[in-house]
Amino acid sequence: MNEAFEKEYRYDEALKQVKYEVNRILSASPLIIRSYTKHLASSTGKSIRAASLIACAMNGEELIQERAVKLAAAIEILHLATLVHDDVIDNAELRRGEITLQKKYGQRTAVICGDYLVCIAMKIAACAADKIRHEEYMKLEIPDYIGRVCLGELNQHINNGNVDLSVRQYLRIISGKTAALFEASFYTGALLIEKDHKIIKKYAKLGRNIGMIFQLTDDCMDFEASEEGTKKTVQSDYEQNVITLPLIYAFRKLEEFKNKAKEHIFPRSEINRLVRKTGGLDYTKKIAEEYYEKSLELIKDLQLADEKENKLKQILDKSYRLI
């Protein structure tokens, strides 16, 4: 396709088109897998990663090219694949208010479907990237974001039940398993409109910060929220041996708590009480706030047009659960 004739969208139109593409892909899969992917289509989320890519790809005329829509759809399907695999690992029963694929159809089916979604996402991304012909883009080193997501998940699994996990180690884990896909969204969107690699790296850093905020806030929600409010399984990280930042801080403050946790003898109500008592939630929110302030500075530093700046601030606030 000649780039001069590539279709362009306004922000809301582009995001609507992404959701249409994702639903179309899931609902029109090969017959052998269609019932499973259609089930997933009924529980798609808020598309914050797709919205991030679309916002970053907004040009000076506040337009988004069609290839950005395709790449955003690929990001959403890839994210969906990670959720399917996460639900298998966690043996989760609920996701976005719907029964999980692994609970309804079994873990083996869910794993295969997750693998299929990864393949589809890569195919879409490859077709969209083929339209990027600028030599400047081709010379750039594209980070291995998918590899980082996988290694982050593996690192978390290796450290399951590790009550001696440090804050630094934990932040490294979530910079892969959660923040890498956010970073990929921002990086890819910027790549479509920017030629200055220094600017593209600022977008990527912004995405990484927002991903860190998203996970840290999610960690707090596991202690504070209900399934009715989040529409997914909560109060489950500790039961799955996943050690998150509120717990890490509590362990650091109460050595006796950490020693008993090694024996896994605490009821969930007591875990919640001790995390609050030691300030684990407040500490985690403080770290998230630091990433939030850094993100605001990055957005300001990018010197964007008002509309684009507002869209990125909205995405930042959503990650922080402010709106």
Q: Is the pLDDT of residue 286 over 70?
A: yes
Domain identity same for 112 and 144: no
pLDDT at site 323: 47
Domain identity same for 122 and 222: no
pLDDT at site 2: 44
Domain identity same for 66 and 182: no
The listed range with the strongest mean pLDDT (252-266, 268-282, 290-304) is 290-304
The residue from 118, 133, 148 where one domain ends is: 133
Domain identity same for 168 and 25: no
Average pLDDT of every residue of the chain: 89
Between 52 and 44, where is the model more confident?
Answer: 52
Count up the domains in the chain and report the number: 2
Instruction: Tell me, yes or no, if the pTM score tops 0.75.
Output: yes
Domain identity same for 148 and 294: yes
41-75 in b/e form (b: 16+ CB < 10 A) is bebbeebbbbbbbbbbbbeeeebbbbbbbbbbbbb
Domain identity same for 128 and 199: no
Between 113 and 129, where is the model more confident?
Answer: 113
Beta-strand ranges (E) seen in the chain are 8-9, 64-65, 94-95, 98-99
**DSSP three-state, residue 138:** helix
Domain identity same for 58 and 126: yes
Mean pLDDT, rounded, for 281-290: 97
Comparing CA positions, the residue from 321, 318, 323, 315 lying closest to residue 11 is 315
Domain identity same for 79 and 105: yes
Residue 48's CATH number: 1.10.600.10
Domain identity same for 301 and 168: yes
pLDDT class for 231, splitting at 50, 70, 90?
low
The residue from 133, 163, 190 where one domain ends is: 133
Residue 99 lies in domain = 1-133
Domain identity same for 129 and 143: no
Between 63 and 265, where is the model more confident?
Answer: 63
Mean pLDDT, rounded, for 92-101: 87
